[in-house]
């Protein structure tokens, strides 16, 4: 399972980083950084929460 | 989780209902989950409707959300019309009844209107937004009634589409919602882009000589080819009539989003306790936070945590992006944490932190407020 970021869509709200702090964060410039793109079953709930909280649907799970 | 919990029904397929569904699954609920949505569309991002969706040239995808993974039975284009508490069933407008062990009330709200005239456009659902887009293609003259964030976003979108736009507002636009300082910044940008602002104590939408027009408090008439109103929302609680679950047109809930042990109410129609009193907070991030807490409470009762929520609000209009954490409108003068008046800036009041054309993630904006 992989988290995929559509960077042009990202507006830097950062709600995903709050929902999945162990998987992603926004850097000092407000750019989203995926700390781990490959996620395991154990992280699935957190990854899903991050993807679903984004109001501009910039994230998806592939 | 109680073993007898087999059926959960969610009335409402907006972000509140959607989040509740996913949270219930994440928490281990494996029974039958049914979502009832009155729109035929799959769930979408409502904030995008008045922002990117009005502006995009050909891209009609800015409101798309990832496909749901909750595995619920989705009854779309169907409306809840009644609730029988004793028999634990909801009634639908297609005549069906759905029994439930737990129920999530998430039917949201609708646009408040100033008339019943079909030519008074509002922007609440996806169909409204698509219809407005279509109308803007011919660059009609536009009057927008309502100077809140939604009305100003619509005015911004209409201007960007090349329309001549008049904003009719009760007092200065955005002051009620954002306070003097931020309202000034956004209104100045709006005026620079050519928005005409008319202030009036009140306005009505009427039909005269075969055209829809806006009549101001002093009797003067504003004519336009397109009239859009954005004058607030009305919670969809009529289907709960007779249940005793509503009060003053909203659904009051406890700190876990529950109205009864087996019924949660979340999203735009719920009034929940906050440090500033009981409030309805009809915002995206509020709906998400409420629904996570309430879904857990439906499964675990008093063992589930209560809602601890700090409001996040954003708007994009007239070339300005504004993000805010905390309580709006802020009062008094802000401290400039970064930047300066007239440019990109990070502002702090005792009760709110605001980023103006300033890219900053929410966790950092929260820290700015807490500092």
B312-370, superfamily in CATH? FAD/NAD-linked reductase, C-terminal dimerisation domain (3.30.390.30)
Compute the 3-state secondary structure of chain B and give helix, strand, coil in percent, each to the nearest 5.
Answer: 25, 30, 45
The domain defined by B7-110+233-303 folds into FAD/NAD(P)-binding domain (3.50.50)
**Under CATH, which architecture does the A3-61 domain have?**
2-Layer Sandwich (3.30)
- Asked whether residue B166 carries a pLDDT value surpassing 90, the answer given is yes
Determine whether the interchain pair B26/A30 forms a contact, defined as Cβ–Cβ distance below 8 Å. Answer: no
Which residues partner with B263 through β-bridges? Answer: B103, B260
Examine the predicted complex and report whether its ipTM is higher than 0.95: no
The CATH number of the structural domain formed by B113-229 is 3.50.50.60
Distance to chain A for B284, nearest Cα, Å = 8
Q: How confident is the model at residue B3 (pLDDT cuts 50, 70, 90)?
A: low
Q: How confident is the model at residue A56 (pLDDT cuts 50, 70, 90)?
A: confident
From chain B, which residues contact A within 8 Å (Cβ)?
18-19, 22, 26, 45, 47-48, 52, 62, 64-66, 69, 284-285, 288, 312, 314, 321, 323, 359-365
Whether the CA torsion B55, B43, B313, B280 is positive or negative: it is positive
Determine whether the interchain pair B363/A49 forms a contact, defined as Cβ–Cβ distance below 8 Å. Answer: no
Give me the residue spans of the domains in chain B: 7-110+233-303, 113-229, 312-370
pLDDT attached to residue B56: 67
Identical fold for domains B7-110+233-303 and B113-229, yes or no, is yes
Residue length of chain B:
371
B284: chain A residues, CB-CB within 8 Å:
55
Which pLDDT tens digit goes with each residue over B267-313? 999 999 998 899 999 999 999 999 999 999 999 999 999 999 888 99
Give the pLDDT mean for A16-24.
Answer: 92
Of the two residues B309 and B6, the one the predictor is more confident about is: B6
Distance to chain B for A38, nearest Cα, Å = 18
DSSP conformation class of A2: B
Determine whether the interchain pair A55/B312 forms a contact, defined as Cβ–Cβ distance below 8 Å. Answer: no
**Helices within B122-272 (DSSP H only):** 126-136, 149-160, 175-192
Determine whether the interchain pair A26/B364 forms a contact, defined as Cβ–Cβ distance below 8 Å. Answer: yes
What value does the mean pLDDT of chain B take?
Answer: 95
């Amino acid at each position: 399972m992989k988290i995929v970021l559509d960077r042009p869509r990202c507006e830097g709200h950062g709600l995903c980083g709050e929902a999945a702090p162990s998987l992603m964060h926004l850097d000092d410039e407000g750019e989203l950084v995926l700390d781990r793109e490959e996620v395991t079953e154990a992280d699935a709930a957190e990854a899903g929460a991050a993807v679903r909280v984004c109001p501009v649907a910039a994230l998806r799970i592939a | 989780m109680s073993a007898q919990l087999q059926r959960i029904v969610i009335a409402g397929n907006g972000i509140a209902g959607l989040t509740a569904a996913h949270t219930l699954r994440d928490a281990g609920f494996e029974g039958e989950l049914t979502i009832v949505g009155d729109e035929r569309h799959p769930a979408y991002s409502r904030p995008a409707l008045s922002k990117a969706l009005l502006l995009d040239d050909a891209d009609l995808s800015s409101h798309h959300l990832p496909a749901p993974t909750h595995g619920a039975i989705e009854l779309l284009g169907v409306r809840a019309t009644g609730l029988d508490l004793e028999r634990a069933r909801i009634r639908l407008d297609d005549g069906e009844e759905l029994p439930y062990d737990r129920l999530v009330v998430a039917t949201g709200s609708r646009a408040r209107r100033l008339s019943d005239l079909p030519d008074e456009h509002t922007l609440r659902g996806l169909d409204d937004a698509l219809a407005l887009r279509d109308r803007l293609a011919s660059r009609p003259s536009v009057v927008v009634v309502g100077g809140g964030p939604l009305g100003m976003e619509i005015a911004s979108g209409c201007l960007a589409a090349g329309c001549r736009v008049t904003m009719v507002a009760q007092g200065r636009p955005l002051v009620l919602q954002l306070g003097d300082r931020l309202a000034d910044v956004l209104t100045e940008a709006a005026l620079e882009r050519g928005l005409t602002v008319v202030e009036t104590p009140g306005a009505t939408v009427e039909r005269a000589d075969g055209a829809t027009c806006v009549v101001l408090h002093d009797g003067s008439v504003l004519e336009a080819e397109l009239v859009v109103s954005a004058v607030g929302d009305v919670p969809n609680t009529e289907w709960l009539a007779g249940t005793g679950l509503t009060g003053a047109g909203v659904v009051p809930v406890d700190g876990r989003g529950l109205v009864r042990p087996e019924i949660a109410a979340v999203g735009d129609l719920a009034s929940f306790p906050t440090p500033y009193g009981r409030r309805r907070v009809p915002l995206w991030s509020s709906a998400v936070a409420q629904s996570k807490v309430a879904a857990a409470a439906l499964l675990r009762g008093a063992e589930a945590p209560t809602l601890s929520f700090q409001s996040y609000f954003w708007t994009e209009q007239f070339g300005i992006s504004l993000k805010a954490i905390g309580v709006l409108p802020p009062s008094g003068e802000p401290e400039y944490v970064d930047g300066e008046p007239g440019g990109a800036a990070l502002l702090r009041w005792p009760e709110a932190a605001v980023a103006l054309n300033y890219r900053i993630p929410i966790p950092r904006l929260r820290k700015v407020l807490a500092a």
